[in-house]
Structure 1
């Protein structure tokens, strides 16, 4: 059985490395602490050693969070109780004016705290914790029972307040707060309930958003003027990463398989674009239809540095883009409306916004990007063009010649060497120049500074991955009929909760490779990879597993077991291999399986078997990440 040592554990760490002037960082190769003095470019930063006072120029990617940072225990996002999420969101909304700089100064903050019914010290404490972690989950209550800021109201009292506010306060009659107090008093008296205090009712009213209040109180024009986007522009986009857009599209190109160079159909690509600069932040190419995992991989790729990714794909050029966006704008597809995505975005302080119906200025940037890329694919052999009329008598499958890897290399070169460099018609400059100006500023505008980098990339990817809650039995844990086991699960076998029912635990997985799932250890708050119990199971994706079950059902087997599933998977794999050169569907299945088995992610861009953990760091532009540590005076 696989040995799950400490090295295999994935700690939950949502800290971000701050590159702003004055921030403290640690240089990973030397272990020394530094203070940032000057941002030079997207590759190097001038720092001052805390021990010697000497100025040094260090590679950005060799820096991490300082050891002096606040130590926080991060929970899994889907293990947090709904009431705790609500409380964390309430606290976050209360400190938001401080974070945005809308209120400042002790007197103004004291007045604000008083109006909100909370202590100034409490407000400062929440503000400090969030500033140190940039994590909404750090604001969840730390102990059970009644907590400061929570409601002591009964369920009946709470419901009365909610119903009266909805019916009388959020109405065109626009009743005053005093009239709302009286109405709640009357309803409680009629039901023989103790009336809530005015302060409790006032807190609930003050927690309403200004937009909801205006619409609810019959002032839609005022709400629209204040909050609706203006024609021809996307609202509130002042800097890079203010708003990004994500969408999927089938690529107008027929691919061929690696083995026989026979057609296997069109791939799907998911793009993330920065609205301010039009820079492409990330992408995800796949032979699978759009899904939750495509969104997760694209977001992870967008927020992380790209140096190792380009090196793994053997692409020359620069793609100096990373950072957590403030807002992600998407369409209304089901893959964007998952609870996992909602919570992950909330945790990273990302506003997940869905495209309004029939509002043309929303979504235009990503659509134009897709159009630009598809137009370029029409120059390639095997293109399907945009429609039948345009394709006419062109035989796309006959001329198809690019494999999946070759198509991905073409897309990367198009991003790095063409799209980012060309003058954008709307910007009147290249996306690269616009990104640089937004970060570092110009003679006329102040830049926003280098974005933060996630301290633990694996945590980012896991946060956006699909999850399930499962019980642990003496045979391990079962998910979709497949059993997983490791002795690390032994202490949790058969445990029951306070309600007497079997306790459930959080597990996550990558649907492209279900031979491993990730167990959230409730004690250490680390993710631990748990292998499939039956090692005869071939490297399998979720879609292959479902196809296997479907095949068993077609044979009339309803109560099939794990061994039958594995036998069917192996049998299907042989069928696909034998038929790979005969039908396009089989060739596509074979190629898709091959891609999944590589297990390439934005966190690990090289196949596992090709890059052991003890292998030396990858060279980027001829340098190792441990090579570049120069005294400041040496580069003058």
Structure 2
């Protein structure tokens, strides 16, 4: 995150540093520590350089400096226990920060911390600990709150996994409508364990944990879960209902205060970029700013609605668009929309409830708001945009799918498809930038780009390093590291750095996959706590290719190969091979049998070895090569027999 605080430093690619001595809403004052010269620079200019990787914000606190590296282990890569600890600490941090205190002193902090600790039923942390957590969060975001002590000494759990089932059974009694106390639940726990230990040998008994340890585990039970069992779903939901208010009714003062996201299937068939075969109807995931109605980012692909398509749209939304537009010289206008938004509204689908998305939003410091079921009007901006998309952008493109069956009876959308996926993306991008963003809305009350420009001067736009953003929004996987490298989606990835990990004995590694570009992956070096990039060995078929395109291409090749296979001729060939093998077996057995007969005859009566066998006379063959039959005709002939064989 952009920690523009006094005392931190900006460092460029040449390792030259400048200290931040003043932070304004639209500017920073930078001081050269060597020549003591100061200059005022706009925050927008610094934001752009940070996104492009030209500048980095650093502090000389070792912890924060490590966490600020672009490829440092992201929040999603930590264990569930680590993330749970960080989320708990974040609760205290947000409570203190939202109080807008004039200073972080014991007198001001302690009452707030004590109140929250009572609500969640735990012993309150010290006020100095809270101050430290606040500083870590402001410097490094949610990853700054992850417990780093896991690298110190033995972190093995003190209770065995065998005892866990007894603890869980006892804790389940707390959910009964009779509302038993923790002390009563502990009695259940002890009773069960004593009875179990009575059946065991003295050397195999399970150690009973103390009441304090049991109570600590009991306090991890969700208050909502207890209410759900004690009073029912309706009462629990009423007491713990979401505090979120609809984006339509709450106050949105500026751009980036609130955005909406959703998916839609495009009413258009597209074809493969290389093979020109029909691929089907892609999906578009879009993010729209509620205040300006600007499109901040989108993703077009064949991915089912999932974290992957959401992550791609978020990445584009947050990024500076100038680098993107350089690849499309035909686009005339600028696309000024960029920066991390404060909150995002979405449906209650499985794709928006993934842990990956929750982790990413925590790291981005974005509040996620799920719309209440059955209330689609709470995200009216994005629904309205999709209506505009179908009516104005897709209206006359070949391959269009008609909503009315009677209209499409004489039009075959799939056969008429001519637009490739990359062409659709390019056309859509131009429509967004050169038409939608500069056109008035249906009520003629605003133009997206104009509203954005009016608000931008009042908003501290927060940017993130492009490499960090890419890593943060990739898919997490665990793969086997072999001598060949790493196999993913049927592709091999290898590098010298991977070879080093293999030589160190790593067998399983955590990787990050960009499902929109299989040309590379990120691999985590657990010792360093950092990821490094590894390219696919075969860049020809991997670079710039999405997982879905890769799967479709493989399926198409298999179908083409099957179509060229003559199953009848192959079956006939196998039949002939088997017949010849059987014939060879018969001929070989015949020859072997004759030789065995000769061996049984023994040596000749004259005592000369081999006199029993009369070598065949040389014969001339008509053909160039002798046949198996002619060879059999030339087998040795027995001249005389031993007395014991004469009859």
Instruction: State the TM-score bracket (shorter-chain normalisation).
Output: 0.5 to 0.7
Could you tell me the TM-score, scaled by structure 1's length?
Answer: 0.66
Question: Cα distance 1:395–1:327, how it changes in 2: closer, same or farther (>3 A)?
Answer: same
**1:505 paired to 2:509:** yes
Residue 367 of structure 1 is aligned with which of 379, 383, 392? Answer: 383
Residue 57 of structure 2 is aligned with which of 61, 66, 85? Answer: 66
Determine the C-alpha separation between the residues in 2 that align with 1:75 and 1:372: 41
Residue 453 of structure 1 is aligned with which of 457, 463, 473? Answer: 463
Determine the C-alpha separation between the residues in 2 that align with 1:450 and 1:231: 24
Residue 425 of structure 2 is aligned with which of 392, 403, 408? Answer: 408
Count of residues paired in the alignment: 516
What's 1:586 paired with? none
Question: Cα distance 1:252–1:36, how it changes in 2: closer, same or farther (>3 A)?
Answer: farther
What's 1:633 paired with? none
Deviation track 1:454-487 (CA, whole Å, cap 9, x = no partner) reads 1x21221222222321232233233344433323
Determine the C-alpha separation between the residues in 1 that align with 2:253 and 2:396: 37
**1:467 paired to 2:476:** yes
Determine the C-alpha separation between the residues in 2 that align with 1:144 and 1:522: 11
Determine the C-alpha separation between the residues in 2 that align with 1:465 and 1:213: 36
Partner secondary structure for residue 320 of structure 1:
coil
Determine the C-alpha separation between the residues in 1 that align with 2:307 and 2:65: 31
CA displacement at 1:506 relative to structure 2: 1.3
Can you give the 5+ residue segments of structure 1 that lack an aligned partner in the other structure?
Answer: 1-15, 442-448, 497-501, 557-636
Can you give the 5+ residue segments of structure 2 that lack an aligned partner in the other structure?
Answer: 118-122, 195-207, 563-647
Contact 1:88 1:141 in 2 (8 A): no
Residue 122 of structure 1 is aligned with which of 107, 123, 129? Answer: 129
What's 1:304 paired with? 319
Partner secondary structure for residue 479 of structure 2:
strand
Residue 320 of structure 1 is aligned with which of 336, 341, 344? Answer: 336
**1:346 paired to 2:352:** no
Partner secondary structure for residue 66 of structure 2:
coil
Determine the C-alpha separation between the residues in 2 that align with 1:133 and 1:216: 39
**Mapping of residues 435-454 of structure 1, within 5 Å:** 435=452, 440=457, 449-454=459-464
Determine the C-alpha separation between the residues in 1 that align with 2:321 and 2:49: 14
**Mapping of residues 282-301 of structure 1, within 5 Å:** 282-286=297-301, 290=305, 292-301=307-316
Partner secondary structure for residue 197 of structure 1:
helix
CA displacement at 1:307 relative to structure 2: 1.4
CA displacement at 1:71 relative to structure 2: 0.8
Residue 52 of structure 1 is aligned with which of 37, 50, 70? Answer: 37
CA displacement at 1:304 relative to structure 2: 1.2
Contact 1:246 1:330 in 2 (8 A): yes
Question: Cα distance 1:482–1:470, how it changes in 2: closer, same or farther (>3 A)?
Answer: same
Contact 1:519 1:527 in 2 (8 A): yes
Partner secondary structure for residue 187 of structure 1:
helix
What's 1:589 paired with? none
Could you tell me the TM-score, scaled by structure 2's length?
Answer: 0.65
Deviation track 1:102-135 (CA, whole Å, cap 9, x = no partner) reads 7775324223445443222222212211111113
Contact 1:249 1:269 in 2 (8 A): yes
Determine the C-alpha separation between the residues in 2 that align with 1:72 and 1:218: 47
**Mapping of residues 93-172 of structure 1, within 5 Å:** 93-101=91-99, 106-114=106-114, 115=117, 116-136=123-143, 138-143=145-150, 167-168=173-174
Deviation track 1:489-527 (CA, whole Å, cap 9, x = no partner) reads 23332766xxxxx73111233334434333222334443
**Mapping of residues 351-430 of structure 1, within 5 Å:** 351-382=367-398, 383-389=400-406, 404=421, 407-424=424-441, 428-430=445-447
Question: Cα distance 1:276–1:204, how it changes in 2: closer, same or farther (>3 A)?
Answer: farther
What's 2:90 paired with? 92
Question: Cα distance 1:134–1:194, how it changes in 2: closer, same or farther (>3 A)?
Answer: closer
CA displacement at 1:283 relative to structure 2: 0.9
Normalized per residue, which structure has more helix?
2
Deviation track 1:387-407 (CA, whole Å, cap 9, x = no partner) reads 435667567679877665554
**Mapping of residues 233-312 of structure 1, within 5 Å:** 233=248, 239-254=254-269, 266-286=281-301, 290=305, 292-312=307-327
Partner secondary structure for residue 377 of structure 2:
coil
Determine the C-alpha separation between the residues in 1 that align with 2:450 and 2:124: 47
Higher RCO structure (Cα 8 Å, ≥6 apart)? 1
Determine the C-alpha separation between the residues in 2 that align with 1:287 and 1:468: 20
Question: Cα distance 1:362–1:495, how it changes in 2: closer, same or farther (>3 A)?
Answer: farther
Question: Cα distance 1:131–1:204, how it changes in 2: closer, same or farther (>3 A)?
Answer: farther
Question: Cα distance 1:160–1:92, how it changes in 2: closer, same or farther (>3 A)?
Answer: farther
Contact 2:517 2:542 in 1 (8 A): no
CA displacement at 1:358 relative to structure 2: 1.9
Flag the structure with larger Rg. Answer: 2
Deviation track 1:274-309 (CA, whole Å, cap 9, x = no partner) reads 334432211123366555543332121111111111
Select between 509-518 and 17-26 the one with higher mean Cα deviation.
Answer: 17-26
Contact 2:244 2:369 in 1 (8 A): no
Determine the C-alpha separation between the residues in 2 that align with 1:294 and 1:351: 19
Determine the C-alpha separation between the residues in 1 that align with 2:169 and 2:513: 41
Question: Cα distance 1:252–1:553, how it changes in 2: closer, same or farther (>3 A)?
Answer: closer
Determine the C-alpha separation between the residues in 2 that align with 1:232 and 1:531: 43
Determine the C-alpha separation between the residues in 1 that align with 2:518 and 2:276: 28
Deviation track 1:398-443 (CA, whole Å, cap 9, x = no partner) reads 98776655543442343234433444468943444554566555xx
Question: Cα distance 1:110–1:408, how it changes in 2: closer, same or farther (>3 A)?
Answer: same
Deviation track 1:90-110 (CA, whole Å, cap 9, x = no partner) reads 222232212333777532422
Determine the C-alpha separation between the residues in 2 that align with 1:480 and 1:403: 23
